[in-house]
Amino acid sequence: MSVCYCAALPRIDTATRVVILQHPRERDMPIGTARMASLCLTTAELHVGIRWADSVPLARALHDPARPPILLYPGPGARDILREPPRGPVTLVVVDGTWSQAKTVVRDNPVLQALPRYAFATPEPSQYRIRREPRAEYVSTIEALMHVLGVLEGEPARFRRLLDPLHAMVDAQLACQARAPRPRVRQPRAPRAPGYRIPPVISQRFADLLCVVGEANAWPYRAGVASPPEELVHWVAHRVATGETFDMVTAPQRPLSPSTPFHSELPEHELRRGAPRPELFAQFARFVRPADLPCAWGHYGPDLMLASGGSLPDGRPEGRLDLRAEARRLVNRKLGSLEAYAATIGPTPVPLTAGRAGRRLAMLVQIVRDWHSRACSSMGGE
């Protein structure tokens, strides 16, 4: 309550339809400004996610005939929206997240790549003093909306009210820092007991853990050019407790990207003569058990399976185990690649199947077995 900015929130009507697509990692940031902006703008929509190809709310917003969509995102081909604003009401799509996160969202969503792109150089320094931007000309999400909506609706002064809650939040945070300044030298942390932060599900549901990896037919990203959607071409899975392995290549239904054989580490002829996708789905459905808990490094593999028309034992994000997120919590720092983390556990394991998927699958199994061993040791070998 001491840092609440609700009293400073204005309510501003807009002819512009504002759609904010927020990266999930930004959702719980206490000093983020996307939610702040959505609370100020009466018609704004805030959606959280990474992949938007099948989003009904976004599709509805992008097909508003009275307000054609545009994307606020810098890059080659982007028009300066402050100098060349589009005519008439528009649907303004804004991606909220770090610059790395925003880049990933735009890169992985052809529906966003296909939109007319606009950007701008900020006419004034950012007032987001509690967070350092990568470059001086970058601003927070709410500041970007203040500048852009002022131009789109011809009322810059009215939209400067968006800065009121930003100022309130920044001032409150700075006041807290002044009262309790952070120590300049970080104190070393006491070592954690083995297995202290290993997720309990590793030991509680070991028999259900199913490591999965998917490889895609993906075209290289080119700014301003809509790429075909990614599609599943290789799916592998391994049930750690029993050693059962599923391995199947499925032929691409769209033109094969020249980079796919290289990245998947599978010959082009093997990809082209893969099984029909419905056959892969049917055989995998026979392989899985209702209680299986899919384990993957991040969200990419499971999301690729679902986006390609397949299914998992539990298709919900909360019905999976993200080993990358759990590893980040375990070491309490940012992580590199799967290969880098697996190397901290032991020698590179023997691939379980052909291709990159088989190599990465073996690393996932190595991580799960290591964590299970450590969890059991911390419980006295139970």
**Domain parsing of the chain, residue ranges:** 6-179, 201-378
Q: What is the CATH number of domain 6-179?
A: 3.40.1280
Question: Burial, 60: exposed, middle or buried (Cβ in 10 Å; 0-12, 13-18, 19+)?
Answer: exposed
Q: Quick one: pLDDT band at residue 159, thresholds 50, 70, 90?
A: very high
- Confirm if 123 and 139 have CB atoms less than 8 A apart: no
- Per-residue pLDDT at 297 exceeds 70: yes
- Per-residue pLDDT at 137 exceeds 70: no
In the predicted model, what is the mean pLDDT of residues 150-178? Answer: 88
The string of pLDDT tens digits covering residues 309-354 is: 999 987 566 678 999 989 988 888 777 889 999 999 989 999 999 9
In the predicted model, what is the mean pLDDT of residues 202-212? Answer: 94
Give the tokens for residue 98: 């770090």
The string of pLDDT tens digits covering residues 75-95 is: 778 899 998 999 889 999 999
How much of the chain, in percent, has pLDDT values that exceed 70?
89
Assign a CATH topology to domain 201-378: Nucleotidyltransferase; domain 5 (3.30.420)
Its pTM stands at 0.56
Contacts 24+ apart (CB under 8 A), 225-229: 225/113, 226/110, 226/113, 226/114, 227/110, 227/113, 228/110, 228/254, 228/255, 229/53, 229/110, 229/254, 229/307
Mean pLDDT of the chain: 87
In the predicted model, what is the mean pLDDT of residues 270-297? Answer: 95
Distance CA 74, CA 199 (A): 39
- Per-residue pLDDT at 381 exceeds 50: no
